[in-house]
Amino acid sequence: MIRKTCDVVIVGSGFAGLSAADILAERGLRVLLLDENLHLGGQLLRSPPWSGKRSSAGGIMGYGFRLIGRIKSQPIEVLNRTNVLDIDERGMLLVEREERMISVASKMLLLATGARERFMPFKGWTLPGVISTGAAQILMKSYGVLPSKRMLIAGIGPLLLAVAGEFLKNGGRLLSVLDMGGAREKFLLLTRGIQQFSKVTEGIVESAQVFLARVPYHLRTMVVEARGGPGLSAVVAAKIGKDGSLLKGTEMIYRTDSLALGHGFVPNIELAQLAGCAIDHDGGKGGWVVRVGEDLQTSEDRVFAAGEITGIGGALKSMDEGRLAAFGILNKLGREVDPKRLIHLKRQRNRHLRFGILFNNLHRMPDQAFLSIPGEVTICRCEDVKMADVTRAVKDGYDTPAALKRALRIGMGNCQGRICAPLVYDILSALKKTTAKEFPPFSVRSPVKPVAIRSFLS
């Protein structure tokens, strides 16, 4: 076992982790930055290694790439491709890297573990050829590869347009964009989000790209079925009413071998849970989130959290939270912090947070959408649990996430519920006509992600 010590260890090198690392290192603290990916930058800051345009990119992305450049020139220790397996009661991290264990001790811990994608299942959603919009983005942005020459994009919210724009830019033929949301949400976002000028303009630029390419953009439309075998060959979509129920007779069929799905994001709170941090459920923040104070400290004394894990809110929120967390940590370590900057940052962060809540609330999937999932649809991919199994078990009284897990093995597979857990919470609350707040989420135990047994033996 390799042992490391530092002043601050940061888990995650997205906007939040990078922003914090930058400030902390500048103030002379020994920072260890861990990320599970090969490259710094998290889910948003991706670009093919051969691309020369990174630092010349405009807006927040350009800022992010320049930030990565700065981090690389600072005396920060960066460990990529790490798998943080555990955080114990003393705040010690157990990290696996290249099948070896590293134990990390630090004065302070910052969790900036980001978010993962949420899914709305339908018949055939597990067919090869059905991918997430995130996967499509990775293929295009990190590797310069199109998922397919012809693609259909479906899900909810304006982020679908971002993927659509990227796909068109790379020369793909986009069949259509299907959005479960309606025009009302778009209008509200435009008017109320006006202070978030950059986000709104980005949204307009992307929509313009889609419209200029004459791609049909269908609102209040969802995928009902993916057909094919073994791979995807066709997608059936239909219109939905305001409550999320399907409107019969509105079905459309698309011939395609590629479908990208985007139904929003779920905070990656598992490591924070292991560290003993308190969590709250807030639909406006994307579900279960880590509870933080204004200085981004969690309920645990030496543990801070920043970015999507405190509430889904996008890059700007993550960046400001990373900075605030850095100042919180400095303050905690007895270093001086400029109070004026702090006030400004807090105000800015709250604005982003409010926008995030507005955004998330406008793009929440209605209960009816979960209730109308047909019985034969797979909910837990790892253990092959169907919707009918879930409804039957709930009727039999197994009506908490933990009880469902024991009764059906749901969430017991290789992904340990990372994909199905948020879905299970939503289905349960829809079936029980209550909020997911009522149900404690699945318990978390080390390792948070699968790890080679061999790594423990060296």
Kindly list the residues in this chain that would bind other proteins in the complex (CB under 8 A): 85-86, 88, 94, 397-398, 400, 402-403, 406-407, 409, 412-414, 416, 443, 445-447, 450-454, 456-457
How far apart CA 20 and CA 11 sit, in angstroms, is 11
How would you class 248 by CB atoms within 10 Å of its CB: exposed for 0-12, middle for 13-18, buried for 19 or more?
A: exposed
Closest to other proteins by CB, 331 vs 446, is: 446
Which two three-digit tokens encode residue 131? 């991918």
Q: How far is the CB of 401 from other proteins (least distance, A)?
A: 10
How far apart CA 315 and CA 185 sit, in angstroms, is 21
How far apart CA 272 and CA 289 sit, in angstroms, is 9
Closest to other proteins by CB, 94 vs 115, is: 94
Q: Coil, strand, or helix at residue 84?
A: strand
Closest to other proteins by CB, 125 vs 398, is: 398
Ramachandran angles phi, psi of 368, nearest 5°: -60, -35
Which residue type does 300 have? E
Q: Are 323 and 110 within 8 A, CB to CB?
A: no
Tell me the CB-side half-sphere exposure of residue 183, using CA atoms within 13 A: 2
Q: Are 324 and 345 within 8 A, CB to CB?
A: yes
Q: How far is the CB of 89 from other proteins (least distance, A)?
A: 8
Buried b (16+ CB within 10 A) or exposed e, 2-19: eebebbbbbbbbbbbbbb
Considering only CA atoms, which of 103, 121, 116 is closest in space to residue 12?
116
Q: How far is the CB of 387 from other proteins (least distance, A)?
A: 20
Q: How far is the CB of 101 from other proteins (least distance, A)?
A: 8
Closest to other proteins by CB, 86 vs 257, is: 86
Considering only CA atoms, which of 22, 15, 13 is closest in space to residue 76?
22
Q: How far is the CB of 443 from other proteins (least distance, A)?
A: 8
Q: Coil, strand, or helix at residue 218?
A: strand
How far apart CA 20 and CA 16 sit, in angstroms, is 6
Q: How far is the CB of 8 from other proteins (least distance, A)?
A: 22
Q: How far is the CB of 413 from other proteins (least distance, A)?
A: 8
Closest to other proteins by CB, 208 vs 452, is: 452
Closest to other proteins by CB, 149 vs 454, is: 454
Q: How far is the CB of 107 from other proteins (least distance, A)?
A: 21
H/E segment holding residue 232: strand 232-239
Considering only CA atoms, which of 321, 324, 315, 349 is closest in space to residue 46?
315
Q: Are 169 and 196 within 8 A, CB to CB?
A: no
Closest to other proteins by CB, 1 vs 38, is: 1
Peptide bond into 447 cis (omega under 30): yes
Q: What is the dihedral of CA 432, 434, 440, 441, to 10 degrees?
A: 80
Closest to other proteins by CB, 331 vs 455, is: 455
Q: How far is the CB of 259 from other proteins (least distance, A)?
A: 28
Closest to other proteins by CB, 189 vs 390, is: 390
Q: How far is the CB of 261 from other proteins (least distance, A)?
A: 25
